[in-house]
Homo-oligomer: A and B are copies of this chain.
């Protein structure tokens, strides 16, 4: 029921995804049956693989998480996450209110990692593919242990979502040298280097490495991740705005822009295709889809959800998480030098 477009995007996206997903994949559709049933009726081919579960209530996109949480029981979002806990569903997918989804997921599924709340992943396009970037907004204060947890979870997610056997991991910092940055990143760097994790850890990366694809997974605290992601989104909006103005500022370039239209569309598509963003650190899979996701975006997120559900995601995270206490204990204390 969530997102900017609700069932008018979600249901066609399910129909589209089903044509490409294995026969065994099925969907539970939570929400107002009076709205969902007529829309579903327009996609006869999907009918046998989609079950509508009526919910009395829907959480609004603009409700505050705390307020939403109080009145959330029995809502479509609540029921979707509860189905994961009950083992009825392998993964919950929502384009609804992010804060409410995080709060409800934490309450129903509980945290497996030692985090304040689930870590949120962004998928950033690069010339080589996609950078998995986390945490982008959930956990503002992160010590070295939390950064290492992000690395473990991000690594397993990237493998499951993108099929790369051994993703390369980096920690975001102000320089590549080991002595750079604050004590949390230097300590996390040491733990990941020396902790014996099953992971291709590459050390520190810088801000421009996110879109370069220097590594597959870029790890940072939720403060830096949130600000950086929004700054990149803002830069993209500014640039496309400037470009539009530049290309329509006189008749000649306007003509050029018309002819170049197809190329520009391809460019915009590539920049704006959001994969689902998993909520990591929960005892169960929850995928957040951008509220403005198109039918095609949402269908792609559903395929990621299916890939995650069929992967060894949770077991792989668990295996590296078991190394964590020993790795933290082994790591020598950080030197005091915080030099840039």
**Residues on A facing B (Cβ under 8 Å):** 117, 125-127, 137-141, 172-174, 180-182, 206-212, 220, 222-224, 226-239, 241-243, 246-250, 252-253, 255-264, 266-267, 270-271, 338, 340
Contact = CB atoms under 8 A, between A and B. Distances in A.
Q: 7 tightest CB-CB pairs across the interface, nearest first?
A: A207-B230, A256-B259, A256-B260, A208-B234, A253-B263, A207-B231, A246-B263
A231 B270 CA distance: 18
A208 B226 contact: no
Nearest to A133: B231
16 contacts: A117-B340, A140-B174, A207-B231, A207-B234, A210-B234, A211-B235, A220-B227, A226-B340, A228-B231, A232-B232, A242-B267, A242-B270, A243-B267, A247-B264, A249-B266, A256-B260
Given A206-B227, A248-B263, A253-B259, 14 more contacts: A125-B238, A140-B174, A140-B181, A140-B182, A140-B338, A207-B228, A207-B232, A209-B234, A211-B231, A220-B227, A223-B224, A235-B235, A235-B236, A256-B258
A238 B261 CA distance: 19
A220 B228 CA distance: 12
B237 A239 contact: no
Contact of A239 (B231, B262, B271, B338): B271
Contact of A227 (B172, B250, B271): B172
B241 A127 contact: yes
Contacts of A255: 259
Given A232-B232, A246-B264, A263-B249, A207 B227 contact: yes
Given A234-B210, A234-B212, A267-B242, A252 B262 contact: yes
A261 B256 contact: yes
A143 to B, nearest CB: 12
Nearest to A253: B263
Nearest to A258: B256
